[in-house]
Structure 1
Amino acid sequence: MSDLALDLDRLTAIDVHTHAEVSKDGHGALSPELFGASADYFKAHGHRQPTIDEMAEHYRERRMAAVVFTVDAEHATGHPRISNEEIAESCAAHADTLIPFASIDPHKGRAGAREARRLVEHHGVRGFKFHPSIQAFFPNDRMAYPLYEVIQELGVPALFHTGQTGIGAGVPGGGGIRLKYSNPLHVDDVAVDFPQLRIILAHPSFPWQDEALAVATHKPHVYIDLSGWSPKYFPPQLVRYANSLLQDKVLFGSDYPVITPDRWLADFEKLDIKPEVRPKILKENAARLLGLLTD
């Protein structure tokens, strides 16, 4: 699956975690209440919701590639998603820089599985994003298994939000979002039941960092992305594993636009990471996982 127009030699990094927050017609990926809570949490007031064209320009200027996705949580929130097709088509117009992922609410069952196949085969989608807390499901719920089965068959990654989320933080009742769904141990069951499915555990998984490290160490196709936190706040055990046992399975991710790649990389530069490990985290591990680089 190396048919993207990415020039790996040109790229300094691959950001595996960025959000399409607004559609071409101005429709937001989340409700204004949840967007506001996220801005409070990340101290990102005043940040614009960039279009995908603007995201492409931002990353192209930095000689980086970026994985782009939204979150489909229509069942739990009642808020219509941004179209996966729109994201895929917009990314295709910037195939030198952007890599489209899709999001399908697992409550859609076999209809969601059919959509996943169509998105990969006809729209060039390269992976799928799940946010268990917003989508209100445990990753090991059998209702999601037809969707995982298709994703595994198609050979593309599944990225799962893990740990606490800034979305809903500070809103009464957390905006209805339950943190329990995003314990990475629930994803361990998925890794057992779908042993060839490539899985990314997104974020330092507070308060379950050790669980995430255990799953990624134990299951050969489970990776960790480092998005959503400034590297200066990474737990010491995460840095230790990234430098050693998991140096081939840790991925650069920012959580753009709430955290910019500039901010993330400036703090990462100060982190005690071995020189030979840095290029793996910033580009090589993601290139291999996404099928852009083969051994």
Structure 2
Amino acid sequence: MAVNPPGAPTLNGDLLTIHRLLQSPTQLERRLRTLKDMKFVADRILKQKYRTRGGSLLYEVSEGITTTRPIQAVSPGSTYPYATTQDGQAALAAVQDWGQASRLTDAAIKRRVRGGDELDRVLRKLLNTILIKVDSLAISAVASAVNRTLDATTNGGAWNGTNPNILRGLEMAKASVTDLDQGFNPDTVLLSTEMYAFMVSDDRVTNARRRETTDNPIYDGEIEIIDDLIVVKAPAARLPTADVWVFDSTQLGGMADEDEVDPGYVVTEMGVQVQNERIARANSWDIWARRPTVPVVVEPQAGVRIINARS
């Protein structure tokens, strides 16, 4: 009997690799960590981490940093006068389970040109969907809570005007927060990609930066810090207005994630929980992702909104 030559290469090996990956929570978690471009704006503007149990969070808004009476001199032998601390207004936030599922078929793994990358494509789309939703929730919470405003017209001019002074406007915004004397230290500026374009191309900004260096935006298109403020930009569609927000991200608030993880879920560093299930009769896998969270703003006075920055 003649010995037949080996058969042509097939994708069975790739299929087996994907199945093993899907059956291993550890491998799935490593796969998620490779998607480094999945960055949540929400966790950059609301940096505090609140852990909830029972699906809700009780917190205080605008808690004072001083007592209710001024300090006074105490005579020898006298007792110190009592004063009460200032409590904030009580508020309650309910955690919502934001997520969705997608089905990955064996046929898609075997027959599509992406092959073993098909899982990455599905995970990326699930994470993108969650990213957009959670970001929108966090930005809306900040925009509705931070009601103090600074008019750019009289503080540096409109950013898209003929002769803007963006640095002055940012400094005035920082000063308006710091001068409240509540211990706030503005460290972040939130703006749309359009407003970022005005800022990064402004002559006064570009002339003030070092020229002979590769971190100049003329080379990489990025300004990560301006006027000691971390720059956080978001697509205009996620922002309610074309305004610019300057705030103390360490005091403004945080994301309240439910810390009770149900069995079978893999938790990523971004707070997203992922799980999968083999649907044998359908020759496929169900993959779903979620983030049980709610954005919480505890110190609305820690920020200010620059209005009329775009004329």
Task: Tell me if TM exceeds 0.5.
Answer: no
Higher strand share: 2
Structure 1 or 2, whichever has the larger Rg, is: 2
The normalised TM-score by structure 2 is: 0.22
Q: Which one scores higher on RCO, CA 8 angstroms, separation ≥ 6?
A: 2
